[in-house]
């Protein structure tokens, strides 16, 4: 396949329903009212030369290259800013226009370094193309006049450079940063000849507000803003459409290649989740795929205190299978299990759970979603009937009030955040419920109408109070509730929610939010038009995570905000395929499609296809596997793409469990923290090295396409298949598409999904079946999947994790834009430049009371353990609350967190830990040592730190 070239129509498509008929150069076309003349011409296949126009941006009309003549109108209007009109007759090519365009081009070219042959954009430059299109042959002004050719390059950004000598001041970059990204980092400084693009007076790109999303680089028609990888490697020569492997937004990219080397990842305009936008991770942070730390050979060792020994794949697989068989013979069928990965494809996840259920003969399979969004599955299934968000991302364009709870979209889900900010700039209202003043509360041209800075752990109380106001002030959408919901449940819930204990005045003292603020926010959400709720791990990672999800669902049902575009309950899923790993049956009690293993009809369906009897008993969850290991009944674990030592709570518990097992198998890209406790290491493959699908937060199933051979020799699905066969199963998939066919056969919500359908439609949002053959953008239209929506009572129960004299502050945790979860990938890219260490954010008064200054080392201690990190004093924090990220292993954030978890799903309570902070002289000896350790020494260090 060659390079995929996407057509640039110059301006955005018209959205009106009324069609307008125009004639362009003798050809007729009907286009929606409001379409530009330039776009209408492009749709006819007529290219009008352009420089400042591009279809990702609003038209601007500055370069004057796209001039046309319109019969009956004076002059030569710019086609990019002129909308079509009924009966309009347009001429795009004649001698007069050609002369005018050449004149414009002459001015640009006279102030341009004519180094086309050696320029990194040679062959991919719109200025070069435009010069050719207008037939420029000479520059009458010469090249000796005043010019910008000596301007200094800004190479401060690790991924792209800015070479002002090549800038034509078309403002596409400035507008991309404003309109697409919403960061407003760039301006045009000066005027006339002195105009120049600037990331802030005297600032470099790196030091500016720029968040390295790459939108300006993509928009730039010249080599002014250019990826350093293109400068170093050269222009790509073929490309493939694939899906980002970082977060649950699921951006589509063109992987542009030279041979087997990625030159750049370019966001794909046809991507339904991102519409051509990206963030710094997906756009630039793919270098980990070829990082020197990658392990590409299998390794085994008899004891975890032994050194690793490289072996062949055959030996590693045979050894693993023999060990698992030995363990089961000695300790019983239930003594082994597996953990699936939300980083791997649907097909890979499906195979791991199949291996466990059909090969191991038990249901001991769990997933890292256990530690993030398992409450979402529980809460939404019990209220609406489906364990997933209700909308597509496009829905936010029709939202009037956006309620963000426990999510930080500008850092965690940046491409969706840009979309949300655009809607907010258009006038939608915003309510933020978060202990921290996240960026959305006040960002360029966006300001939250209400910020409810609640105390961590009081989500249920605050949402109940919002519902209390809605019910007691008569703001319920009664028609919706009567028609769509179970009225008996509603009556019971309404009686509960109107109790005085749920009033804003009653909860204000415990949640720390003024009652008046809660009342105003409730009224706005209930009466402001389409109300859309977006939430994240700040909702789920609590002892009442499932209750909070249910409370959110109650709120949406009570106000009729379900079942149409612009509304809904939208969990912002963390990892790229966390939705998919749950859909694929990764939990110990559910087959794919969320069907309980005890359901005879479902089990029989799987038994018929897999040709083995299956257990109807739910298996062990991750924490229970580790408990069983310590008590001597669970001895073997296959972990695909998951670092439980670093990402799961209570490190001591994890390491004790792993250390007690006889065969821990880790399949990953790098020797992660968990691998320190492994007996077998099976090298993993990156998303660039395999075919498959990911499912994003919108339930959107998207293709992942192989662009290079796996460095380790196999895709992860092939490794699982090898292991399955070595254990005596008969697994013979020739391609992941065959696995998807089996998923579709066994999973009603995936019935219509196939690689052929995905290739045809681009992506599919499940459910996809006979009734919805092209998928379902909006869930619960007309009726809930469960039938009548169920209101469930949500008593607020304070977490057992309490502050007191010893631990008076509350710690909460989160992510930042440039890093991703435990940082295994992003720390191995230049993204590390933006976040070299995790910091502890502290309110100025809390810092002052403890004699702590900005940048000081502080000891952070909880009942569970202690660690040391540097302080960042900021009034973003509420008084009494501290915050840190967890991207660096030496921070050991999970040494601090407790083992409290969600009552329904065991999802750990990462977001509330009572702590004390005090000045410290520096990192602990352990932290210093840890940074310089590897392998066995790290294992000892991790275990030691946990004790
Ligand atoms: S990379 Fe993104 S944030 Fe930075 S200047 Fe360009 S558009 Fe703005
Ligand atoms: S940097 Fe590129 S996009 Fe920005 S004004 Fe200059 S030429 Fe246009
Ligand atoms: S928003 Fe998420 S999916 Fe999109 S590029 Fe960034 S990390 Fe990748
Ligand atoms: S492309 Fe129309 S004025 Fe620049």
What residue owns the CA closest to ligand 2's atom 6? 167
pLDDT over threshold 50, residue 921: yes
Counts of helices then strands in the chain (DSSP H, E): 31, 36
Helix (H, G, I), strand (E, B) or coil at 466: helix
| Contact present, 307 and 444 (Cβ < 8 Å) | no
Which atom of ligand 2 is nearest to 52's Cα?
A: 8
CA–CA gap between residue 872 and residue 884 (Å, rounded): 10
Structural domain ending residue among the three candidates 555, 571, 587: 571
Give residue 216 CA to ligand 2 midpoint distance, Å.
8
CA–CA gap between residue 688 and residue 711 (Å, rounded): 10
Which of 24, 269, 231 shows the shortest CA–CA distance to 124? Answer: 231
In-domain check, residue 897: yes
CA–CA gap between residue 558 and residue 481 (Å, rounded): 6
Structural domain ending residue among the three candidates 290, 323, 347: 290
Element at 115 (helix H, strand E): none
Task: Name which of 197-211, 221-235, 516-530 the model is least confident about.
Answer: 197-211
Which atom of ligand 1 is nearest to 214's Cα?
A: 1
Task: Please give the structure tokens belonging to residue 149.
Answer: 């050719």
Sole residue written with tokens 């939430």: 535
Give residue 101 CA to ligand 4 midpoint distance, Å.
11
Angle 749-750-751 from CA coordinates, rounded to 5° = 95
Find out whether the beta carbon of 582 lies less than 6 Å from any atom of ligand 2: no
* pLDDT score at 541: 82
Query: Omega of the bond prior to 767 within 30 degrees of 0, cis?
Result: yes
Helix (H, G, I), strand (E, B) or coil at 262: strand
Please report which confidence band the pLDDT of residue 192 belongs to, taking 50, 70 and 90 as the band edges: confident
Are 34 and 79 part of one and the same domain?
yes
What is the maximum alpha-carbon separation in the chain? 92
CATH at residue 166: 3.30.70.20
- State mean pLDDT over 846-856: 93
The per-residue pLDDT for range 524-558, each reduced to its tens digit, is: 999 999 999 999 988 888 778 999 999 999 999 99
Give residue 166 CA to ligand 2 midpoint distance, Å.
8
Find out whether the beta carbon of 173 lies less than 6 Å from any atom of ligand 2: yes
Are 308 and 442 part of one and the same domain?
no
Burial 249-280 (b: 16+ CB within 10 A, else e): bbbbbbbbbeeeebbbbbbbbebbbbbbbbbb
Are 813 and 834 part of one and the same domain?
yes
In-domain check, residue 789: no
What residue owns the CA closest to ligand 4's atom 3? 61
* pLDDT score at 275: 97
What residue owns the CA closest to ligand 2's atom 8? 170
CA–CA gap between residue 911 and residue 538 (Å, rounded): 6
Give residue 149 CA to ligand 2 midpoint distance, Å.
15
| Contact present, 754 and 599 (Cβ < 8 Å) | no
| Contact present, 341 and 348 (Cβ < 8 Å) | yes
pLDDT over threshold 70, residue 938: no
Mean pLDDT, the chain, integer: 91
Other Cβ atoms less than 10 A from the Cβ of 509: the count is 9
pLDDT over threshold 70, residue 821: yes
The per-residue pLDDT for range 305-332, each reduced to its tens digit, is: 999 999 999 999 999 999 999 999 999 9
Find out whether the beta carbon of 840 lies less than 6 Å from any atom of ligand 3: no
| Contact present, 374 and 907 (Cβ < 8 Å) | yes
Please report which confidence band the pLDDT of residue 117 belongs to, taking 50, 70 and 90 as the band edges: confident
* pLDDT score at 924: 66
Are 330 and 392 part of one and the same domain?
no
- State mean pLDDT over 672-676: 91
What percentage of the chain exceeds 70 in pLDDT?
A: 95
| Contact present, 789 and 854 (Cβ < 8 Å) | no
Ligand nearest to the CA of 199: 1
In-domain check, residue 489: yes
What's the half-sphere exposure (Cβ side, CA atoms, 13 Å) at 832? Answer: 14
CB contact set of 399 (below 8 Å; sequence gap of 6+): 423, 428, 530, 531, 532, 566, 567
Domain count within the chain: 5
CA–CA gap between residue 436 and residue 841 (Å, rounded): 10
Give residue 59 CA to ligand 4 midpoint distance, Å.
8
* pLDDT score at 937: 47
- Can you give the residue range of the structural domain that contains 898? 809-936
* pLDDT score at 936: 45
Task: Name which of 750-764, 766-780, 787-801, 905-919 the model is least confident about.
Answer: 905-919
Give residue 258 CA to ligand 2 midpoint distance, Å.
26
Probe target for ligand 4 pocket from 57, 80, 90, 129, with the most ligand atoms within 8 Å of CB: 80
In-domain check, residue 366: yes
CA–CA gap between residue 170 and residue 792 (Å, rounded): 56
CATH at residue 839: 2.40.40.20
pLDDT over threshold 90, residue 265: yes
- State mean pLDDT over 799-807: 85
Give residue 468 CA to ligand 2 midpoint distance, Å.
52
Find out whether the beta carbon of 168 lies less than 6 Å from any atom of ligand 2: yes
In-domain check, residue 402: yes
Give residue 420 CA to ligand 3 midpoint distance, Å.
15
Please report which confidence band the pLDDT of residue 706 belongs to, taking 50, 70 and 90 as the band edges: very high
Are 548 and 414 part of one and the same domain?
yes
Are 556 and 600 part of one and the same domain?
no
Find out whether the beta carbon of 700 lies less than 6 Å from any atom of ligand 3: no
Find out whether the beta carbon of 279 lies less than 6 Å from any atom of ligand 3: yes
Helix (H, G, I), strand (E, B) or coil at 916: strand
The per-residue pLDDT for range 44-103, each reduced to its tens digit, is: 999 999 999 999 999 999 999 999 999 999 999 999 999 999 999 999 999 999 999 999
The per-residue pLDDT for range 226-250, each reduced to its tens digit, is: 999 999 999 999 999 999 999 999 9
Ligand nearest to the CA of 704: 3
Give residue 40 CA to ligand 2 midpoint distance, Å.
25
CATH at residue 399: 3.40.228.10
* pLDDT score at 618: 97
| Contact present, 424 and 181 (Cβ < 8 Å) | no
Ligand nearest to the CA of 53: 4
Q: With a threshold of 0.85, does the pTM exceed it?
A: yes
- State mean pLDDT over 650-679: 92
What residue owns the CA closest to ligand 4's atom 1? 50
Are 561 and 537 part of one and the same domain?
yes
Find out whether the beta carbon of 242 lies less than 6 Å from any atom of ligand 3: no
Ligand nearest to the CA of 173: 2
Give residue 283 CA to ligand 4 midpoint distance, Å.
28
| Contact present, 189 and 202 (Cβ < 8 Å) | no
- State mean pLDDT over 186-194: 85
Give residue 35 CA to ligand 2 midpoint distance, Å.
25
Find out whether the beta carbon of 614 lies less than 6 Å from any atom of ligand 2: no
pLDDT over threshold 70, residue 926: no
Give residue 199 CA to ligand 2 midpoint distance, Å.
12
Give residue 212 CA to ligand 1 midpoint distance, Å.
5
Probe target for ligand 2 pocket from 52, 130, 220, 226, with the most ligand atoms within 8 Å of CB: 220
Q: Any residues with Cβ below 6 Å from ligand 1, and which? A: 176-177, 181, 183, 185-186, 210-216
Please report which confidence band the pLDDT of residue 928 belongs to, taking 50, 70 and 90 as the band edges: low
Probe target for ligand 4 pocket from 9, 11, 60, 130, with the most ligand atoms within 8 Å of CB: 60
650 — alpha (psi -120 to 50), left (phi > 0) or beta?
left
CATH at residue 358: 3.40.50.740
- State mean pLDDT over 401-406: 97
Are 165 and 230 part of one and the same domain?
yes
In-domain check, residue 590: yes
Probe target for ligand 1 pocket from 157, 207, 216, with the most ligand atoms within 8 Å of CB: 216
Give residue 70 CA to ligand 4 midpoint distance, Å.
16
* pLDDT score at 946: 39
Ligand nearest to the CA of 92: 4
CA–CA gap between residue 269 and residue 557 (Å, rounded): 34
CA–CA gap between residue 532 and residue 268 (Å, rounded): 27
Task: Please give the structure tokens belonging to residue 630.
Answer: 């310590």
Probe target for ligand 3 pocket from 415, 700, 821, with the most ligand atoms within 8 Å of CB: 415
In-domain check, residue 285: yes
CATH at residue 44: 3.10.20.740
| Contact present, 810 and 881 (Cβ < 8 Å) | yes
Helix (H, G, I), strand (E, B) or coil at 189: strand
Are 179 and 251 part of one and the same domain?
yes
What residue owns the CA closest to ligand 2's atom 3? 220
Ligand nearest to the CA of 41: 4
Residue 690 vs residue 912, higher pLDDT? 690
Q: What is the CA radius of gyration of the chain?
A: 29
Which of 645, 719, 661 shows the shortest CA–CA distance to 685? Answer: 719
* pLDDT score at 47: 93
Give residue 515 CA to ligand 3 midpoint distance, Å.
37
In-domain check, residue 778: no
CB contact set of 322 (below 8 Å; sequence gap of 6+): none
Give residue 208 CA to ligand 4 midpoint distance, Å.
29
CA–CA gap between residue 198 and residue 574 (Å, rounded): 34
Are 560 and 432 part of one and the same domain?
yes
pLDDT over threshold 70, residue 925: no
CA–CA gap between residue 682 and residue 720 (Å, rounded): 10
Residue 368 vs residue 781, higher pLDDT? 781
Q: Where are the beta strands (DSSP E) in 801-856?
A: 809-814, 839-842
Ligand nearest to the CA of 227: 1
Find out whether the beta carbon of 282 lies less than 6 Å from any atom of ligand 3: yes
Structural domain ending residue among the three candidates 571, 594, 617: 571
CB contact set of 63 (below 8 Å; sequence gap of 6+): 50, 51, 52, 53, 104, 168, 170
Please report which confidence band the pLDDT of residue 334 belongs to, taking 50, 70 and 90 as the band edges: very high
- State mean pLDDT over 141-170: 83
Please report which confidence band the pLDDT of residue 866 belongs to, taking 50, 70 and 90 as the band edges: confident
Please report which confidence band the pLDDT of residue 768 belongs to, taking 50, 70 and 90 as the band edges: very high
Are 621 and 686 part of one and the same domain?
yes
* pLDDT score at 147: 66
Are 421 and 356 part of one and the same domain?
no
What residue owns the CA closest to ligand 2's atom 5? 169
Q: What is the DSSP string of 781-839?
A: SSSBTTBSB----------S----SSS-EEEEEE--TT--TT-TTGGGSGGGGG-SS-E
């Amino acid at each position: 396949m060659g390079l995929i070239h996407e057509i640039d129509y110059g301006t955005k498509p018209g959205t009106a329903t009324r069609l307008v008929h125009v004639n362009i150069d003798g050809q007729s076309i009907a286009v929606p009212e409001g379409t530009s003349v330039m776009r209408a011409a492009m749709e006819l296949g007529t290219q009008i030369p352009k420089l400042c126009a591009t279809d990702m941006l609003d038209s601007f009309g500055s370069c004057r290259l796209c001039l046309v003549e319109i019969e009956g109108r004076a002059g030569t209007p710019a086609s990019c800013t002129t909308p079509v009109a009924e009966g309009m007759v347009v001429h795009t090519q004649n001698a007069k226009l050609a002369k005018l365009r050449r004149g414009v081009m002459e001015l640009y070219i006279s102030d341009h370094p004519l180094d086309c042959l050696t320029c990194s954009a040679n062959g991919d430059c719109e200025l070069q193309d435009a010069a050719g299109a207008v037939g420029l042959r000479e520059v009458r002004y010469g090249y000796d006049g005043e010019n910008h050719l000596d301007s200094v390059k800004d190479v401060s950004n690790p991924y792209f450079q800015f070479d002002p000598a090549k800038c034509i001041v078309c403002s596409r970059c400035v507008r991309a940063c404003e309109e697409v990204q919403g960061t407003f980092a760039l301006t045009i400084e000066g005027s006339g000849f002195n105009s120049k693009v600037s990331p802030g007076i005297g600032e470099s790109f790196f030091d500016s507000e720029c968040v390295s999303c790459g939108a300006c680089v993509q928009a730039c028609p010249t080599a002014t803003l250019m990826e350093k990888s293109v400068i170093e490697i050269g222009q790509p020569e073929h490309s493939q459409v694939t899906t980002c492997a970082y977060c649950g937004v699921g951006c589509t990219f063109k992987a542009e290649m030279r041979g087997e080397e990625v030159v750049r990842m370019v966001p794909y305009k046809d991507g339904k989740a991102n519409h051509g936008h990206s963030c710094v991770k997906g756009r630039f942070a793919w270098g980990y795929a070829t990082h020197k730390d990658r392990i590409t050979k299998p390794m085994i060792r008899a004891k975890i205190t032994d050194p690793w020994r490289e072996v062949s794949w055959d030996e590693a697989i045979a050894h693993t299978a023999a060990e698992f068989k030995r363990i089961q013979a000695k300790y019983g069928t239930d003594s082994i299990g597996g953990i699936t990965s939300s980083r791997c494809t649907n097909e890979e996840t499906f195979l791991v759970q199949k291996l466990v259920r059909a090969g191991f003969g038990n249901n001991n399979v769990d997933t890292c979603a256990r530690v993030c969004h398992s409450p979402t599955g529980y809460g939404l299934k019990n209220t609406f009937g489906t364990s997933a968000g209700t909308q597509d991302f496009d829905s936010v364009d029709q939202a009037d009030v956006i309620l963000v709870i426990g999510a930080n979209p500008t850092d965690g889900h940046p491409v969706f955040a840009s979309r949300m900010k655009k809607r907010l700039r258009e006038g939608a209202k915003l309510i933020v419920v978060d202990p921290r003043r996240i960026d959305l509360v006040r960002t360029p041209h966006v300001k939250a109408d209400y910020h409810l800075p609640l105390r961590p752990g009081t989500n249920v109380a605050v949402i109940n109070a919002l519902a209390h106001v809605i019910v007691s002030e008569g703001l319920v959408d009664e028609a919706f509730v009567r028609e769509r919901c179970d009225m008996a449940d509603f009556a019971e819930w309404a009686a509960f929610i109107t109790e005085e204990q749920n009033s804003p005045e009653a909860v204000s003292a415990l949640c720390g939010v003024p009652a008046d603020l809660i009342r105003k926010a409730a009224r706005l959400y209930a009466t402001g038009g389409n109300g859309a709720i977006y939430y994240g791990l700040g909702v789920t990672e609590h002892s009442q995570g499932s209750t909070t999800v249910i409370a959110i669902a109650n709120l949406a049902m009570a106000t009729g905000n379900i079942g149409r575009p612009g509304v809904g309950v939208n969990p912002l899923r963390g990892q790229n395929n966390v939705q998919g790993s749950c859909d694929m049956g990764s939990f110990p009690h559910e087959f794919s499609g969320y069907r309980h293993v005890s359901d005879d009809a479902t089990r029989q369906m799987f038994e018929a296809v897999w040709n083995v009897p299956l257990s109807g008993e739910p298996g062990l969850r991750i924490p229970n596997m580790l408990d069983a290991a310590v008590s001597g009944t669970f001895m073997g674990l296959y972990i695909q793409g998951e670092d439980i030592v670093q990402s799961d709570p209570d490190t001591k518990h994890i390491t004790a469990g792993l250390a007690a097992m006889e065969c821990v198998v880790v399949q990953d890209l790098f020797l992660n923290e968990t691998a320190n406790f492994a007996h077998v290491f099976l090298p993993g493959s990156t998303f660039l090295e395999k075919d498959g699908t990911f499912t994003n937060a919108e339930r959107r199933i998207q293709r992942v396409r192989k662009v290079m051979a796996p460095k380790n020799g196999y895709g992860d699905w092939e490794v699982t298949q090898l292991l399955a066969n070595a254990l005596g199963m008969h697994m013979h998939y020739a391609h992941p598409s065959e696995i998807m066919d089996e998923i579709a056969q066994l999973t009603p919500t995936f019935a219509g999904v196939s690689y052929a359908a995905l290739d045809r439609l681009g992506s599919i949002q499940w459910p996809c079946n006979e009734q919805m053959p092209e998928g379902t953008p909006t869930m619960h239209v007309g009726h809930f999947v469960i039938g009548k929506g169920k209101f469930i009572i949500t008593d607020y129960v304070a977490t057992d994790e309490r502050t007191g004299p010893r631990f008076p502050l509350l710690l909460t945790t989160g992510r930042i834009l440039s890093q991703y979860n435990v940082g295994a990938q992003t720390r191995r890219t230049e993204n590390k430049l933006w976040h070299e260490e995790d910091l502890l954010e502290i309110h100025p008064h809390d810092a002052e009371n403890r004699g702590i200054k900005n940048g000081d080392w502080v000891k952070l201690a909880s009942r569970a353990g202690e660690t040391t990190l540097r302080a960042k004093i900021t009034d973003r924090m509420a008084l009494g609350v501290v915050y840190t990220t967890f991207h660096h292993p030496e921070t050991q954030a999970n040494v601090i967190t407790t083992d409290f978890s969600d009552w329904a799903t065991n999802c750990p309570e990462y977001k509330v830990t009572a702590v004390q902070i005090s000045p410290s002289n520096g990192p602990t000896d352990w932290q210093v040592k840890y940074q310089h350790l590897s392998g066995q020494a790290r294992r000892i260090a991790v275990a030691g730190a946990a004790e």
